[in-house]
Amino acid sequence: MAAAAARWNHVWVGTETGILKGVNLQRKQAANFTAGGQPRREEAVSALCWGTGGETQILVGCADRTVKHFSTEDGIFQGQRHCPGGEGTFRGLAQADGTLITCVDSGILRVWHDKDKDTSSDPLLELRVGPGVCRMRQDPAHPHVVATGGKENALKIWDLQGSEEPVFRAKNVRNDWLDLRVPIWDQDIQFLPGSQKLVTCTGYHQVRVYDPASPQRRPVLETTYGEYPLTAMTLTPGGNSVIVGNTHGQLAEIDLRQGRLLGCLKGLAGSVRGLQCHPSKPLLASCGLDRVLRIHRIQNPRGLEHKVYLKSQLNCLLLSGRDNWEDEPQEPQEPNKVPLEDTETDELWASLEAAAKRKLSDLEQTQGALQTRRRKKKRPGSTSP
């Protein structure tokens, strides 16, 4: 039951105890999935990303340097691979053209062949990014371009098909008003769609925009928010603003055109660990150390939509980007019921006289319309029963 319903989960959350939780907001249920049956703290989930084939597979990066494949259709872990090399947990996980890209804390970025799911083969490509990496992010428009950044590790953009040197290496801002060097701590990176720009948020509560296309390597725009380190960031559907979260649980929306604060979101009590916006709807999912997953609505009106208490500390999340949010509960039931009804009613109507044919045609049309609509949504290849 849980396995069958797993595909309809709206949010997938990884915890510090190694459990992957799938949350269905429509039915307000949360289900736990573990690889070994028992939660283990050594398998704390540190990175999540979608696998191949749309949103049917999830790649789960754990603290013991294994990447597990989880299928949302079946609701089970299908396999895992060990990705050795370097020290520390995964800071970034990405998938491109049948290859797996991983980056660990000590700065070893490796590209693995994804075909052998169980055996650990040698990496296809290895890059040294520099120690203290906090985030590695893949460009959604160009899957072979990744960006990395961390503590005292400036932002670098790498092209995995190109040379071993970074394509773009950011320069630190000028010394501050006391003529002291400004320290670097890039906590999260996002690629802005439609252009080559990148946004980063730092542990020194700054939000910066870099443009590799422009001649200057310094940030094009810099703003600050709050007094605490910013830990997570996500882009809003409009593309003009970002939402950042800090270690005190404060969420803020910052406009990137002018660099000003648009508004804040209330509710979180602990450090924000994961943030993601829906690509089309104005919804934001946030998770943190206070063990609660929250879904906020960003615009008209700004506020909390759902709040789900999940008993472990949450590390990262994945929000499904699909549009048919509300239709979920009906779909699993209909394919069972409709074929039966069809055969019975067909026989019934066939036995009736011609006077009833008008009703028959109407009903058949509506049923046929429903069927085709459902079929188009779910199984495009199948024929009518």
Q: By rule CB under 8 A, what string of x and - marks binding of each residue 233-262 to other proteins?
A: --------------xxx-------------
Q: By CB under 8 A, which span of 82-90, 210-218, 310-318, 375-383 interacts with other proteins?
A: 310-318
Stretch of 188-196, 226-234, 236-244, 357-365 lying at the interface with other proteins (CB under 8 A) = 226-234
Sheet holding 108-113, edge to edge: 90-96, 99-104, 108-113, 125-128
Beta-bridge partner residues of 318: 12
- Least Å distance, CB 308 to other proteins, is 9
DSSP at 151: B
Which of the stretches 31-39, 107-115, 119-127, 133-141 binds other proteins when contact is defined by CB under 8 A?
A: 31-39
d(CA 216, CA 210): 9
Residue-wise burial string across 99-137, b where 16 or more C-beta atoms lie within 10 A, e elsewhere: bbbbbbbbbbbbbbebeeeeeeeebeeebebbbbbbbbb
**Cα separation of the two ends of the chain:** 25
Of the pair 19, 47, the CB lying nearest other proteins is at 19
- The count of residues interacting with other proteins (CB under 8 A) is 27
Query: Dihedral through CA 252, CA 140, CA 321, CA 67, nearest 10?
Result: -100
CA-wise closest residue to 50 among 79, 70, 26? 70
Q: Which of 11, 13, 19, 111 binds other proteins (CB under 8 A)?
A: 19
27 is an interface residue for other proteins by CB under 8 A: no
**Shortest gap between Cβ of 379 and other proteins (angstroms)?**
36
Phi/psi at 279 (5° precision): -65, -25
**Residue 320: which of 43, 18, 54 has the closest Cα?**
54
For residue 360, the one-letter residue type is L
Confirm or reject binding of residue 271 to other proteins (CB under 8 A): yes
Amino acid present at 86 = G
Interface region with other proteins, contact rule CB under 8 A, candidates 70-78, 139-147, 211-219, 222-230: 222-230
Q: Which is nearer to other proteins, 207 or 251 (CB)?
A: 251
268 touches 284 (CB < 8 A): no
Point out which span in 36-44, 89-97, 295-303, 369-377 binds other proteins (CB under 8 A): 36-44
Per rule CB under 8 A, is residue 41 in the interface with other proteins?
Answer: yes
Interacting residue with other proteins among 153, 312, 315, 320 (CB under 8 A): 312
Closest distance of CB 331 from other proteins, Å: 29
**Exactly one of 269, 340, 363, 370 binds other proteins (CB under 8 A); which one?**
269
Pairing between β-strand 272-277 and β-strand 261-265 as defined by DSSP bridges? unpaired
In the stretch 336-355, what mask flags binding to other proteins with x, by CB under 8 A? --------------------
224 lines the binding site for other proteins (CB under 8 A)? no
CB 93, CB 146: distance < 8 Å: no
Q: How far is CA 211 from the centre of its chain?
A: 24
Beta bridge partners of 69: 59, 79
Residue number, 63 or 100, with CB nearest to other proteins: 63
Of 32 and 367, nearer to other proteins (C-beta) is: 32
Query: Between 207 and 289, whose beta carbon lies closer to other proteins?
Result: 289
Footprint (CB under 8 A) of other proteins, residues 149-208: 203
- Measured between alpha carbons, how far is residue 149 from residues 157, 198, 222, 379 in Å? 9, 12, 16, 43
Closest approach of other proteins to the CB of residue 141, in Å = 32
Q: Which residues are at the interface with other proteins (CB under 8 A)?
A: 17, 19, 32, 38-39, 41, 203, 227-229, 231, 247-249, 266-267, 269-271, 289-292, 309, 311-313
